[in-house]
Amino acid sequence: MARLSSHPFDLLAERFAQIFADRISAALPAPNARGGARNRATSKLRGRKLDMRCHYPGCKNRSKGPRFKFLCDEHRKLPKKEQAAALAKWAEKNGKA
Ligand SMILES: [Zn+2]
């Protein structure tokens, strides 16, 4: 079947394939543009990124993350009551009360 390369249909198919390839390569964004889109996506996410600083007022340590209520090593040792107070203060300050 592939031997009938001189058949008009094969030529037609070949031309279609060529047109398709041109169309597709024209429709696809250039690699650079794609990279830019990816960068935009990350910067969009950056706004929603977790604030990893310790939520204890005035503390500049890096917190241990959501599993530790965003408190640093030092402040996660505090009594639960004090942690709650600190987190409430943080929430108030950040408009998430
Ligand atoms: Zn802390």
Could you state, in order of their start, the residue ranges of all structural domains in the chain?
A: 51-97
> What is the CA(30)–ligand 1 centre distance, in A?
46
Helices and strands of the chain, counted as H and E runs: 3, 0
Rounded to an integer, the average pLDDT of 61-70 is: 92
> What is the CA(78)–ligand 1 centre distance, in A?
10
Q: What is the pTM of this model?
A: 0.47
Question: pLDDT tens digits for 69-97?
Answer: 999 999 999 999 999 999 999 999 888 65
- b/e sequence 30-60, b meaning 16+ C-beta within 10 Å: eeeeeeeeeeeeeeeeeeeeeeeebbbeebe
